[in-house]
Amino acid sequence: VESGQQLALSTVEYPASDSSTTILHDRTFHRVYGDSTDLSMVSAARLSATFPYVTPVARARYAGGGEGPLLPSWHIADGGYFDNQGVMAAVEWVQAVLKTPGLRARIGKILILQIMAFPDHQQMPSPENGNGWLSALIGPVQGIVNVRTSTQVARSELELQLLKDAYPGKIETVTLSPAEGDPPLSWHLSQNDIAQLRAAWVQLGDGTGVARIREMFNPAETK
């Protein structure tokens, strides 16, 4: 929160920032807090879902389950503030791998797979009449929230295209999106919600995105 930068909770190495002006020079959990500091899977999942005002921003306090020394107490919020789709993190990691001497030649193709929570093309909302005072009151906040999402989507598409242009024939991208509808957002799923999720997975399996993945990994079988 204090620096406004991303912090990766990752099980793989992640490229460090080469900027000398950043507060968090190395942006992974272990580089910030040290290799001896552990983080449970439950805590990592909780930190990745720190929704505004629903779950408060968190900070690491002690190493070793409350018995170790005090840790730097930066506050950590939901990663969606910075990179909701995770595309920027993936692009940085892929670039670091392909720039590693001797490693690029050993890699055939790289598949970047996006599994989206919402349909690709949400319909434009119907224009509302009246409520001028209400729009004047909440409009700026609503605009900020909506623009944050739309600008990240546009930025992600541009970053992926620039990555593909930088490494012709090396990068493939596939996006899997559910059918039109309103996916459940609650942490508690009803039986109907579970049935909808299972139906969505079946539909994705029969879609063009999965067919492209099969073609990439088994080109001979798809001809």
**Angle of the 208-217 helix axis to the 191-205 helix axis, nearest 10:** 50
pTM of structure:
0.69
d(CA 197, CA 204): 11
Taking CA atoms, 113 is separated from 4, 91, 103, 149, in Å, by 26, 12, 21, 19
- What is the spatial distance between Cα 9 and Cα 41, in angstroms, rounded to a whole number? 10
User: What's the rounded Cα separation, in Å, for the pair 193 and 133?
Assistant: 37
- Give the pLDDT confidence score for residue 162 in this predicted structure: 93
CA atoms in the 13 A half-sphere facing the CB of 154: 6
pLDDT score for 91: 87
Flag whether pLDDT at 163 surpasses 90.
yes
The CA distance from 198 to 78, in Å, is 27
pLDDT tens, position by position, 10-52: 777 665 545 444 444 467 777 777 777 777 788 777 777 666 6
Confidence of residue 166 (pLDDT cuts 50, 70, 90): very high
Q: Kindly state the average pLDDT of the residues 62-82.
A: 68
Residue with tokens 């879609």: 207
User: What value does the mean pLDDT of the chain take?
Assistant: 75
Q: What is the pLDDT of residue 24?
A: 40
Q: What is the pLDDT of residue 42?
A: 80
Q: Are 164 and 98 in contact (CB under 8 A)?
A: no
| pLDDT above 80: residue 164 | yes
Residue 161 has pLDDT above 90, yes or no: yes
pLDDT band at 127 (very low <50, low <70, confident <90, very high): low
Q: Which region holds residue 63: left if phi is over 0, alpha if psi is between -120 and 50, else beta?
A: beta
Work out the average pLDDT over 190-215: 84
